[in-house]
Amino acid sequence: MGTQEQNQNQMFYPHVSVDCVLMGAVDDKLSVLLVERQVAGSEEKHYKLPGSLIYENEDPDQAAQRVLFEATGLKRLALKQFRCFGSPERTKNKEDVQWLENAAKLKINRILTIAYLALCKMKKAELKEKGDTLIWAPVDELPHLPFDHREIIDAAVSEIRSWIDAEPRIVFDYLPAKFTAYQLRRTFEVIYNKPMDVRNFHKRMNAMQYVVLTDEMEKGVSHRAARYYRFDKVKYNKIHSKFNKI
């Protein structure tokens, strides 16, 4: 490790951090990526959101991308800053503070964190090379988490739903290029964590002029083959996108 890198790693700003909330549909559940944290004297596994204090010479966006790369190996993921968490209650648990001080080798008092969020396609998030250091945890079956990480995840779930309410296109970025009506409905059900009536959903889908029926059918399935649809970005931009109405 060079002198410049050593100096960089020693220059944390000890009052501001970043935390990354990476969400995906895993085993048909909306899940969040957690990273293992080492707790001295404990034989149990402990987890947290991928996060870090910020280096003196980097901005928060750079710190978030660094954190995610170090945890997952993923680069240039479309992380979006969505909220700052700064309650004095964040550091009320002395064990959490002690763990952070040991990890950072710094004295920590009050600390603010800037939260980043991304919805990840599973094909980008298998992360096999990281072994047991990462888990996908369903958002309604979370393990014990330090600081206010559970609150951050709850806020991230609401934020994801607000994004989709404003820009439904986000769902289609997550789906494959060709998808069935069932796949589209299940994606909405997973994200909103509630079942949707099939008939009503089909009516809603048929009203989406940018969801285009194709001539292609499922192949090699044990059930009745379904027709594939595709997302028409041009139609969507003309009909819906708020960015084209500014």
Gap between the Cα atoms of 150 and 191, Å rounded: 17
> Which range is least confidently modeled, 1-5, 176-180, 181-185?
1-5
3-state secondary structure of 24: strand
Boundary-marking domain end, from 163, 197, 212: 163
**pLDDT for position 74:** 81
> Which range is least confidently modeled, 16-25, 93-102, 222-231?
93-102
Boundary-marking domain end, from 163, 186, 210: 163
pLDDT at 181 over 80: yes
Q: Do residues 29 and 57 make contact, with C-beta atoms less than 8 angstroms apart?
A: no
Range of the domain at 155: 3-163
Same domain? For 182 and 224 the reply is: yes
* CATH (domain of 221): 1.10.10.10
Give residues with Cβ within 8 angstroms of 143, minimum separation 6: 34, 46, 47, 137
Q: How confident is the model at residue 39 (pLDDT cuts 50, 70, 90)?
A: confident
Same domain? For 110 and 18 the reply is: yes
Q: Please tell me the total count of domains within the chain.
A: 2
What is this structure's pTM? 0.83
* CATH (domain of 66): 3.90.79.10
**pLDDT single digits (tens) 43-96:** 788 899 999 999 888 899 999 999 988 888 888 788 999 999 999 888 888 888
**pLDDT single digits (tens) 211-240:** 999 999 988 888 888 999 999 999 998 887
For CA atoms 97, 98, 100, 106, give the dihedral sign: positive
pLDDT at 13 over 80: no
Instruction: Annotate 198-210 with DSSP letters as a single string.
Output: HHHHHHHHHT-TT
